[in-house]
Amino acid sequence: LQVVARLKNQLDAGDQIARLGGDEFALLIDTRTAPARALQLAERITDVLAEPYWVDGESLLLGCSLGIAHSP
């Protein structure tokens, strides 16, 4: 739930998030007027997901990998 909350906090109105399964998520964002937005969002997501998670008083660090696909 902490991962989903962090992802949602980075999205703008109209953006969509979906859990594909396990630890995989898809984000649908509109970049028609700002193509660089996808890269900026990817950088922000990488940063916020790298911050420590607290579970039962323990600090956990997670990594992430992501890709960007563009469609006309």
> What confidence tens digit (pLDDT) does each residue in 25-71 have?
999 999 988 989 999 999 999 999 999 999 999 999 998 999 999 88
Residue 71 included in any domain: no
Domain that holds residue 19: 2-60
Residue 67 included in any domain: no
Residue 22: is its pLDDT beyond 80? yes
Residue 72: is its pLDDT beyond 80? no
Read off the CATH number of the domain in which 55 is found.
Answer: 3.30.70.270
Query: What stretches of 1-72 adopt beta strand conformation (E)?
Result: 16-21, 24-28, 53-55, 58-60
Q: Could you tell me which residues come within 8 angstroms of residue 16 by beta carbon, excluding any fewer than 6 positions away?
A: 27, 28, 29
Residue 44 included in any domain: yes
Specify the pTM: 0.83
Tokens of 23: 């630890």
Residue 25 included in any domain: yes
User: What confidence score (pLDDT) does residue 67 get?
Assistant: 92
Q: Number of folded domains in the chain?
A: 1
Q: Could you tell me which residues come within 8 angstroms of residue 51 by beta carbon, excluding any fewer than 6 positions away?
A: 6
